[in-house]
């Protein structure tokens, strides 16, 4: 009898979930990504990411996508300026030409790159996870059951949570919950540019 190839469910079609799915597929693993968005363009993906040589670029290299990333990345995005509260320049880092330490890429471009690298039908859009259950308490093996807010439940041998701070997968593993630390980020968008896209 031929061994059964385990099935993997990845929850979340962000950069982490899609990169994970790509690498698993390269190793012959059956993987399905479940994403709550109704489609790849359902909402703005947010600002830029800088992918460093010692973390994000390692993942893209293993996924076989580093060359494509460099073709899309903005190397000039590595320039950094430090200002005091009055706006006076304190520090200024200007990267060397084609410095590859931490170029930036728009999140939408990165998502598109990763989606194009996956086998057709890998991502199931419009699947907001409600809960993960199974196997029976005390059992070391067994499949997990995924219940969605809409549509039928599915089962998988392994579930990978890549669904952010308010993960629906985390409660299956831990009672930990996100806590506001007092730090925040503001994103400024040119409204003319936003309407052009």
Q: Which residues have C-beta within 8 Å of that of residue 149, sequence separation ≥ 6?
A: 128, 129, 130
Angle between helices 107-117 and 15-26 (to 10 degrees): 20
Q: Number of H helices and number of E strands within the chain?
A: 5, 11
Residues of the chain with pLDDT under 70: 1-4, 77-78, 97-99, 136-141, 185-197
How far is CA 165 from its chain centroid?
A: 12
pLDDT at 191: 61
Q: How far apart, in whole angstroms, are the C-alpha atoms of residue 74 and residue 48?
A: 10
Q: How far apart, in whole angstroms, are the C-alpha atoms of residue 110 and residue 46?
A: 11
pLDDT at 29: 94
- The CA–CA distances, whole Å, from 34 to 18, 37, 142 equal 10, 9, 20
CA 11, 12, 18, 19: dihedral to nearest 10 degrees?
Answer: -80
Domain covering 7-196, topology = FAD/NAD(P)-binding domain (3.50.50)
Q: What is the pLDDT of residues 130-171, one digit of tens each?
A: 999 987 545 566 899 999 999 899 999 999 999 998 899 998
Q: Is 159 helix (H, G, I), strand (E, B) or coil?
A: strand
pLDDT at 3: 55
Cβ pair 110, 134 in contact under 8 A: no
Cβ pair 159, 6 in contact under 8 A: no
pLDDT at 1: 46
158-161 vs 7-11, strand pairing mode: parallel
Domain ranges of the chain: 7-196
């Amino acid at each position: 009898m031929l061994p059964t190839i385990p099935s993997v469910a990845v929850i979340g079609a962000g950069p982490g979930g899609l990169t994970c799915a790509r690498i698993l597929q390269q190793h012959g693993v059956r993987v399905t990504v479940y994403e709550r968005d109704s489609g790849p363009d359902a909402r703005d993906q947010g600002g830029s990411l800088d992918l460093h040589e010692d973390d994000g670029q390692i993942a893209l290299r293993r996924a076989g996508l580093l060359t494509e990333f460099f073709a899309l990345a903005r190397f000039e995005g590595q320039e950094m300026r430090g200002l005091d509260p009055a706006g006076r320049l304190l520090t200024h880092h200007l990267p060397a030409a084609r410095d590859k330490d931490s170029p930036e890429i728009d999140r939408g471009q990165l998502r598109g790159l990763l989606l194009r690298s996956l086998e057709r039908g890998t991502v199931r859009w419009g699947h907001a996870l409600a809960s993960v259950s199974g196997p029976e308490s005390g059992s070391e093996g067994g499949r997990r059951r995924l219940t969605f807010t809409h549509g039928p439940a599915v089962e998988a041998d392994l579930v990978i949570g890549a669904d952010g701070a308010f993960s629906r997968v985390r409660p299956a593993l831990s009672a930990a919950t996100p806590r506001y630390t007092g730090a925040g980020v503001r994103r400024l968008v040119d409204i003319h540019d936003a309407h052009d896209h």
